[in-house]
């Protein structure tokens, strides 16, 4: 079993859960934001949808140079969010499936302005940024949906709106 195989199994499981959350994003509320410093619902949903594929793209090479011109896309519809999610998961699987153990354990470096910002094994980046960062934003998204009175799906057990056990 390769090092990435357990990550791929987790990605499959969590992708289904994330898609259920993204399916609940109302297209008519994409501009809503809970606070002026917060992302809009549409921006957060697109960020959540795209995180696995984006981070997988970053780790597909030994280094990634961050530029200051990164613009987070904003969704125009729930369908666009779901399509972005599906493409993101496909990209993440493609990159991870091509990663042998030596590559997974090799050092990956993030630079900005010619300075090293982060340097760690690729598999650590996959775990901490591709997955944990993704879960963090999915959690934020569930709070946004609750604030909008959108029924929440079960994530890691029953929600106040959905009980897969009963």
Q: pLDDT by residue (tens digit) across 22-53? A: 999 999 999 999 999 999 999 999 999 999 99
* E strand or H helix that includes residue 13: helix 3-23
Domain residue limits at 15: 3-31+38-147
Q: Which residues, 6 or more positions from 81, have their beta carbon under 8 angstroms from its beta carbon?
A: 22, 25, 42, 45, 46, 49, 75
Query: What is the per-residue pLDDT across 64-117, written as a single tens digit (0 to 9) for each?
Result: 999 877 778 889 999 999 999 999 999 999 999 999 999 999 999 999 999 999
Average pLDDT over residues 129-145: 97
User: Residue 124 domain-assigned?
Assistant: yes
Residue 162 to residue 97: CA distance in whole angstroms = 34
Number of domains in the chain: 1
User: Residue 46 domain-assigned?
Assistant: yes
User: Residue 55 domain-assigned?
Assistant: yes
Q: What is the CATH number of the domain that holds 69?
A: 1.20.120.450
User: Residue 158 domain-assigned?
Assistant: no
| Predicted pLDDT at 158 | 94
User: Residue 155 domain-assigned?
Assistant: no
Average pLDDT over residues 116-138: 97
- Kindly report the pTM of this predicted structure: 0.95
User: Residue 154 domain-assigned?
Assistant: no
What dihedral do alpha carbons 131, 157, 137, 103 form, nearest 10°?
A: 0
User: Residue 160 domain-assigned?
Assistant: no
| Predicted pLDDT at 68 | 75
Residue 40 to residue 148: CA distance in whole angstroms = 12
């Amino acid at each position: 079993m390769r090092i990435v195989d357990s990550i791929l199994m987790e990605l499959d499981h969590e992708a289904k859960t994330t898609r259920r959350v993204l399916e609940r994003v109302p297209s008519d509320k994409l501009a809503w934001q809970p606070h002026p410093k917060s992302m809009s619902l549409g921006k957060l949903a697109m960020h959540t949808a795209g995180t696995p594929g984006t981070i997988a793209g970053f780790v597909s090479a030994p280094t990634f140079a961050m530029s200051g011109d990164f613009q987070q896309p904003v969704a125009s519809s729930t369908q666009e969010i779901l399509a972005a999610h599906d493409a993101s998961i496909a990209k993440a699987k493609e990159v991870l499936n091509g990663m042998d153990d030596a590559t997974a354990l090799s050092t990956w470096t993030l630079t900005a302005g010619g300075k090293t910002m982060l340097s760690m094994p690729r598999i650590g980046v996959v775990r901490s940024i591709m997955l944990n960062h993704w879960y963090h934003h999915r959690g934020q998204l569930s709070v946004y949906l609750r604030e909008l009175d959108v029924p929440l799906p079960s994530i890691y057990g029953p929600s106040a709106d959905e009980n897969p056990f009963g």
